[in-house]
């Protein structure tokens, strides 16, 4: 199912639709079928047709998605998992052994922090929290035992921006690996491997799937040796994407480019409106010129994405009330779907970071700006702010 040779010169929008998506060799179906199967008939012991023997190890629908992911991120290999956290877990248990040290960001998805703080730390891996938007702070956090630097940019939920190329320079000279969670940007807006990252992580649940109908994760790397190790661990640990979930993500990715353009356009309009609103004390959106990461974002991103966070003037209860009052923005966790979502990170997605260096302000509201009419979204937010 590979188009890898010819795909390398093609543009993103074309790759999104065609990479990994060759017509089914049996029927000519233009979309890869959902190979809802666990095992494959062998023509005599060890006589595999097309290399497939058991669907934890490989499944044709998942292969199609994995080839697509590798092409979109400009990597050698993509691996699709049951969730973003399953991908992260596989990566960490492939790269780290007891005694190792990791630098993690001071703003990140609460579940990623929980994985480090509550799970991986029990296996003897230590971590330091650093402001990754400041390369000097990351350099200062390195120890002789540091094995990797973990970055999320833009970060969840404070929309902090980390200079991927600058951190890749630091990582390289220290002999450590740089991992970038590219969930908020998607490969259409940002390509971490080209900027020097070693591994890209995705929650494909978000923009890649794009329709709030699937949970999935991915790892993509340009390092052939590491790709082999990760694939070995993916099979050995087993948290793979099922065929239907892989198919849903592959289908979502076809419209990624047009969706991200619209998400970014709508979010830019809303962010500008929010900066002028009397009940809003601060707007966190990398597209705003006053955002501290704006210049770096403009350098490494094609547009600024669909995520906005803002703080309300009257404190936590007022922030919760705004979340309760929207009509088009649905109150819910997650992000990256075509429909707009609103949430209160302190009590919802980031509740697990309470009391930690990653705790978020109580007056914070997070928006996942969808691709509905920008006028309708504007009116909804204005009425909710009162
Ligand atoms: C930036 C980021 N990374 C990783 C994850 C974890 O992904 P999943 O929920 O698919 O396990 C999330 C989920 O919200 C996220 O926002």
The ranges assigned to domains in the chain are 12-251, 257-385
Backbone angles phi, psi at 304, to 5 degrees: -105, 5
What is the CATH architecture of 12-251? 3-Layer(aba) Sandwich (3.40)
Is 35 annotated as catalytic? no
Q: Which residues contact 114 (CB under 8 A, 6 or more apart)?
A: 352, 353
DSSP category for residue 79:
E
Give the separation between CA 15 and CA 182, rounded to whole angstroms.
18
How many other CB atoms are found less than 10 A from the CB of residue 12? 17
Give the separation between CA 280 and CA 286, rounded to whole angstroms.
17
Coil, helix or strand at residue 150? strand
Task: Provide the β-strand partners of residue 54.
Answer: 39
In degrees, rounded to 5, the angle at the alpha carbon of residue 275 between the alpha carbons of residues 271 and 277 is 110
Write down the CATH number for the domain with range 257-385.
Answer: 3.90.1150.10
Q: What is the largest CA-CA distance in the chain?
A: 74
Write down the pLDDT at residue 3. Answer: 39
Burial class from Cβ neighbours inside 10 Å (0-12, 13-18, 19+) for residue 180 reads buried
Q: How far apart are the first and last CA of the chain?
A: 53
Write down the pLDDT at residue 63. Answer: 98
DSSP category for residue 193:
T
Write down the pLDDT at residue 4. Answer: 41
Write down the pLDDT at residue 25. Answer: 85
Residues 220/75, Cβ–Cβ less than 8 Å = yes
In degrees, rounded to 5, the angle at the alpha carbon of residue 206 between the alpha carbons of residues 339 and 276 is 55
Residues 357/337, Cβ–Cβ less than 8 Å = no
Query: What are the C-alpha distances in Å from 198 to residues 72, 102, 191, 309, 326?
Result: 15, 15, 11, 29, 40
pLDDT (tens, 9 = 90+) of the chain, 386 residues, equals 333 445 558 999 999 999 999 998 889 999 999 999 999 999 999 888 888 999 999 999 999 999 999 999 999 999 999 999 999 999 999 999 999 999 999 999 999 999 999 999 999 999 999 999 999 999 999 999 999 999 999 999 999 999 999 999 999 999 999 999 999 999 999 999 999 999 999 999 999 999 999 999 999 999 999 999 999 999 999 999 999 999 999 999 999 999 999 999 999 999 999 999 999 999 999 999 999 999 999 999 999 999 999 999 999 999 999 999 999 999 999 999 999 999 999 999 999 889 998 899 999 999 999 999 999 999 999 999 99
What is the distance in A from the centroid of ligand 1 to the CA of 51?
32
Give the separation between CA 335 and CA 332, rounded to whole angstroms.
9
Is 172 annotated as catalytic? no
Residues 104/127, Cβ–Cβ less than 8 Å = yes
Report residues whose beta carbon is within 6 angstroms of any ligand 1 atom: 83-85, 109, 111-112, 152, 156, 181, 183-184, 203, 205, 215, 217
How many other CB atoms are found less than 10 A from the CB of residue 220? 29
What is the distance in A from the centroid of ligand 1 to the CA of 72?
19
Is 147 annotated as catalytic? no
DSSP category for residue 54:
B
What is the distance in A from the centroid of ligand 1 to the CA of 203?
5
Write down the pLDDT at residue 8. Answer: 57
Test site for ligand 1: of 92, 160, 203, most ligand atoms within 8 A of the Cβ: 203
How many other CB atoms are found less than 10 A from the CB of residue 254? 17
What is the distance in A from the centroid of ligand 1 to the CA of 49?
36
């Amino acid at each position: 199912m590979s188009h890898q040779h010819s795909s390398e010169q093609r543009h993103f929008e074309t790759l999104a639709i065609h990479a990994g998506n060759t017509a089914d060799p049996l029927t000519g179906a233009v979309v890869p079928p959902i190979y809802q199967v666990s095992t494959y008939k062998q023509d005599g012991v060890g006589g595999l047709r097309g290399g497939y023997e058991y669907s934890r190890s490989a499944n044709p629908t998942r292969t199609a998605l994995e080839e697509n992911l590798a092409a979109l991120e400009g990597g050698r290999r993509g691996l699709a998992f049951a969730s973003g956290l399953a991908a992260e877990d596989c990566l960490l248990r492939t790269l780290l052994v007891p005694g190792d040290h990791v630098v993690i960001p001071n703003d990140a998805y609460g579940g990623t922090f929980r994985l480090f703080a509550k799970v991986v730390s029990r296996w003897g891996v230590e971590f330091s929290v650093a402001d990754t938007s400041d390369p000097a702070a990351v350099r200062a956090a390195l120890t002789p035992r540091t094995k990797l630097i973990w970055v999320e940019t833009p970060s969840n939920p404070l929309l902090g921006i980390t200079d991927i190329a600058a951190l890749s320079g630091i990582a390289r000279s220290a002999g450590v690996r740089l991992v970038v969670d590219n969930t908020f940007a998607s490969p259409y807006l940002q390509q971490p491997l080209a900027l020097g990252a070693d591994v890209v992580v995705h929650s494909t649940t978000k923009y890649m799937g794009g329709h709030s109908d699937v949970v999935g994760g991915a790892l993509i790397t340009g390092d052939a040796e590491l790709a082999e190790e990760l694939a070995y661990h993916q099979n050995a640990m087993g948290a793979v994407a099922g065929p239907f979930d892989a198919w849903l993500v592959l289908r979502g990715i076809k419209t990624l480019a047009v969706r991200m353009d619209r998400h970014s356009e709508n979010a830019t309009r809303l962010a500008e409106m929010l900066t002028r609103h009397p009940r809003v004390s601060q707007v966190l959106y990398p597209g705003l010129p006053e955002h501290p990461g704006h210049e770096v974002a403009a350098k490494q991103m094609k547009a600024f994405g669909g995520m906005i966070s803002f703080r309300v003037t009257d404190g936590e209860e007022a922030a919760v009330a705004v979340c309760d009052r929207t009509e088009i923005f649905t109150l819910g966790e997650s992000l990256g779907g075509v429909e707009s979502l609103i949430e209160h990170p302190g009590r919802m997605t980031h509740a697990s970071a309470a009391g930690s260096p990653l705790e978020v302000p109580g007056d914070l509201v997070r928006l996942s700006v969808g691709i509905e009419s920008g006028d309708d979204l504007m009116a909804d937010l204005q009425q909710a702010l009162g």
